[in-house]
Amino acid sequence: MKILTANRLADGEVVWLAPDHSWAVSIEAAEIARDKAAEEALERIGRAALSGNQVVDVALVDVAVVDGAIRPLRLRERIR
């Protein structure tokens, strides 16, 4: 499973792509890609947001859902 993260261009805030394609400040609002096609869709949306100067540092993040909460697998993303 993966989610899409980035930094908002206006203020550098860490954001996650939500199911409505807005950028949420809470990881719990992130859309979870559960297969390759969904990952590719998230990447397309991220590239468009990057091109539109909404966000920078767009990246897919590996996650697990633990007790109903989204948890990044990499330490770097947990710290963010």
pTM above 0.85, yes or no: yes
Which DSSP string do the residues of 23-60 spell out, in sequence order? Answer: EESSGGGPPPB-SHHHHHHHHHHHHHHHHTTSEEEEEE
How many helices (H) and strands (E) the chain has is answered by 2, 5
pLDDT digits (tens, 9 = 90+) for 31-72: 999 999 999 999 999 999 999 999 999 999 999 999 999 999
Residue 14's CB is within 10 A of a number of other CB atoms, namely 16
pLDDT digits (tens, 9 = 90+) for 15-33: 999 999 999 999 999 999 9
